[in-house]
């Protein structure tokens, strides 16, 4: 199952359109999509504006592949659950975000070998069509909490008078 999730704050029609175009070519593939829509209405799947957290976690656990915007919540969930994640960053030039931090996040996390990145719709579709031949990277499992260094530094600072 492919789980597409773009967060609840803003629509990301460019990703939804790209998925809608490519889904018929992926064969018999279950797909679940969480996305508020702006104007585009997909024909090959229905979408959910919001999925409550327990149901969301359940779908996330079941998915073979997560496709999302470069939102940190999704990236961190994929890392802790050892899920293959393909990210397409929101871009300022399409009015998808206020600044370019999704692009920078995507580049940095790709560089550190945590996620797969599609820079645009074309690349996203190409990766999906070829995914049987080229295995997508699955991240090394990450713990539930922050690094010990950060936890210890915070704990120390909280304790001192």
Partner 1 sequence: MKILAVASVGGHWTELLRLLPAFEGNEIIFASTKQSVAETLEFSKFHVIPDINRNDKRKLPNALYKIFALVSSIRPDIIISTGALPGLLSIIAGKIYGAKTIWVDSIANVKELSLSGKIASRVADRTYTQWPDLTNKRCLFHGNVLS
Angle at 100 between CA 93 and CA 142, to 5 degrees: 135
Interaction of residue 73 with partner 1, rule CB under 8 A: yes
Interaction of residue 39 with partner 1, rule CB under 8 A: no
Give me the least distance between CB of 86 and partner 1, in Å please. 17
Closer CB to partner 1, 133 or 148, in the complex = 148
- The binding track of 115-154 with respect to partner 1, each residue x by CB under 8 A or -, is ---------------------------xxxxxxxxxxxxx
Interaction of residue 105 with partner 1, rule CB under 8 A: yes
Number of C-beta neighbours around residue 10 at 10 A: 15
Residue from 27, 28, 43, 54 that binds partner 1 (CB under 8 A)?
54
Going by C-beta distance under 8 Å and a sequence separation of 6 or more, which residues neighbour residue 30? Answer: 1, 2
How far apart, in whole angstroms, are the C-alpha atoms of residue 83 and residue 93? Answer: 30
Beta bridge partners of 65: 2, 84
Q: How many residues bind partner 1 (CB under 8 A)?
A: 39
Interaction of residue 157 with partner 1, rule CB under 8 A: yes
What length does the chain have?
161
Q: What is the end-to-end Cα distance of the chain in Å, rounded?
A: 51
Could you list the residues that contact partner 1 (CB under 8 A)? 7-9, 52-54, 70-77, 79, 98, 101-102, 104-105, 107-108, 142-155, 157-159
């Amino acid at each position: 199952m492919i789980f597409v999730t773009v967060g609840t704050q803003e629509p990301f029609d460019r990703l939804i359109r790209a998925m809608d175009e490519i889904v018929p070519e992926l064969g018999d593939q279950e797909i679940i999509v969480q996305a508020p829509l702006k104007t585009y209405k997909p024909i090959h799947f229905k979408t959910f504006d919001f999925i409550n957290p327990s149901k969301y976690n359940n779908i996330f656990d079941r998915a073979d592949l997560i496709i999302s915007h470069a939102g940190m919540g999704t990236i961190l969930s994929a890392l802790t659950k050892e899920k293959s994640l393909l990210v397409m960053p929101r871009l300022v030039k399409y009015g998808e975000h206020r600044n370019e931090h999704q692009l920078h996040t995507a580049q940095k996390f790709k560089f550190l070998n945590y996620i797969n990145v599609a820079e645009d719709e074309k690349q996203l579709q190409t990766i999906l069509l070829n995914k049987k031949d080229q295995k997508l990277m699955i991240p090394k499992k990450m713990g539930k909490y922050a690094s010990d260094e950060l936890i210890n530094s915070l704990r120390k600072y909280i304790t001192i008078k």
